[in-house]
Amino acid sequence: MLILHVLDHSIPLHSGYTFRSRSIFEQQRQLGWQTEHITSTKHADAVAAQPDEETVEGLHFFRTQRRSSLHALPLINQYAVIRDLERRLTEVARQVKPDLLHAHSPALNGIAAVRVGKALGIPVGYEVRGFWEDAAVSHGTAREGDLRYRITRALETWALKHADHCFCICEGLRQDIVARGIAAEKITVIPNAVDIENFQPVEAVDQALLGRLALDGKKVIGFIGSYYYYEGLELLLEAARLMRRDIPELHVLLVGGGPAEASLQHKAAELGIADITTFAGRVPQKEVSGYYSLIDVLAYPRQPMRITELVTPLKPLEAMAQKRLFVASDVGGHRELVDDGRTGILHRAGDAASLAEKMTLLLNDRRLGTALKEAGRQFVEQQRNWQVSVSNYQAAYARMLGR
């Protein structure tokens, strides 16, 4: 069986989107399936120049070049993405002759795939990793219910209704898709997972890094990832101010970068905790485990909004796989993922005092911490690894081919 995957962007770019894609392709190949891959013009937007085809980490990608003159026009440029991808996908499908087309978010890819699939008689699956209209709201580039939001939502619903089968990454998204009028039996959940070989337990402290950051003897709380506003990292700083009174050796370590970075630095100064807060910046992927080893308790204080209520993140799974302690807000995406008190700890979303209380608990209760680490690692080993997750495609693909 040959599956042609249709993507927004891919490796060598680094993002949660590209890493999930790569893991899916690698596991599908281990199941004996063949995979080919095509990216839209959105990939070209993120690189200086791209060839028509390239191989990255053993995976072959067809690239879509910009041809339409409409890319410079707001809103209409989304139609240009669909048109260029549709043309290129038609060429590639005729060349490689796939058994299935498997499009991944956003809806632009799903629409192009549905149109090509119907024209060429190829079954089409469409996979939702998150609703991009909600992502736009979280990034401040749209408002819920405005024209852009409504158009994007309508395109998403169209792709879901016209695909032969729908996939999504969590139960929250599945329920929302059903509410749009899509039959429940047409939807398969492919949960987010981690590569348990690449995410091994981090139990030895990186002493050289500890010394370089002057964190010896500190109790470290922190975050590793992208600084988006919906991550709620200002709440982490507010909690640190509360905790400092009782834990004089407290230190905050933030690793990464993003649109909220400047406001977080300003917030730390405003709260009077700049002297105990380190902004380490972005670090190479190969060095990330060293930073994880320094953080006693990670914080994932996501704000309550549609994107966080519906979508499960990867970070808590990565923490579990590495046997790291964390406290996460009780938004829907975290509640679906974390067994409170067994694999992780949840705090009241938006409540700095609750976050401070839970992080203090983990800093002081070693027995609880050990139990959480063991249960978290067991959870990803047994349920949230890519072998288990990707196996869920098999029955859905079989139904699509039978149809």
* CATH number of domain containing 212: 3.40.50.2000
In contact, 221 and 247? CB cutoff 8 Å? no
pLDDT at 14: 84
Tell me the C-alpha distance between 96 and 117, whole Å: 14
What mean pLDDT do residues 248-274 have?
A: 97
Asked whether residue 131 carries a pLDDT value surpassing 90, the answer given is no
Same domain as 364, residue 398:
no
What mean pLDDT do residues 148-153 have?
A: 84
Q: Is residue 66 part of a domain?
A: yes
Asked whether residue 73 carries a pLDDT value surpassing 70, the answer given is no
Of 338 and 138, more confident: 338
Average pLDDT over the chain reads 94
Asked whether residue 394 carries a pLDDT value surpassing 90, the answer given is yes
Same domain as 331, residue 230:
yes
- Whole-angstrom distance between the N-terminal and C-terminal Cα of the chain? 15
Q: Is residue 201 part of a domain?
A: no
If you count DSSP H runs as helices and E runs as strands, how many of each does the chain have, helices first? 18, 14
Domain region containing 229: 207-382
Same domain as 306, residue 250:
yes
Q: Is residue 32 part of a domain?
A: yes
Same domain as 149, residue 24:
yes
Same domain as 184, residue 113:
yes
Same domain as 276, residue 187:
no
Beta bridge partners of 256: 225
Asked whether residue 138 carries a pLDDT value surpassing 80, the answer given is no
pLDDT at 200: 92
Q: Is residue 268 part of a domain?
A: yes
Q: Is residue 92 part of a domain?
A: yes
pLDDT at 30: 95
Q: Report pLDDT digits (tens) over 307-365.
A: 999 999 999 999 999 999 999 999 999 999 999 999 999 999 999 999 999 999 999 99
What mean pLDDT do residues 49-57 have?
A: 92
- Let me know how long the chain is: 403
Q: Is residue 202 part of a domain?
A: no
Same domain as 322, residue 225:
yes
pLDDT at 74: 67
The tally of domains found in the chain comes to 2
Q: Is residue 147 part of a domain?
A: yes
Q: Report pLDDT digits (tens) over 77-105.
A: 788 999 999 999 999 999 999 999 999 99
Same domain as 187, residue 221:
no
> Residue 150's pLDDT band (boundaries 50, 70, 90)?
confident
pLDDT at 46: 79
Same domain as 259, residue 229:
yes
What mean pLDDT do residues 201-212 have?
A: 95
Tell me the C-alpha distance between 129 and 167, whole Å: 8
Same domain as 67, residue 153:
yes
Same domain as 358, residue 247:
yes
Q: Is residue 200 part of a domain?
A: no
Asked whether residue 106 carries a pLDDT value surpassing 90, the answer given is yes
The one-letter amino acid code at 114 reads V
pLDDT at 152: 84
Same domain as 289, residue 176:
no
pLDDT at 305: 92
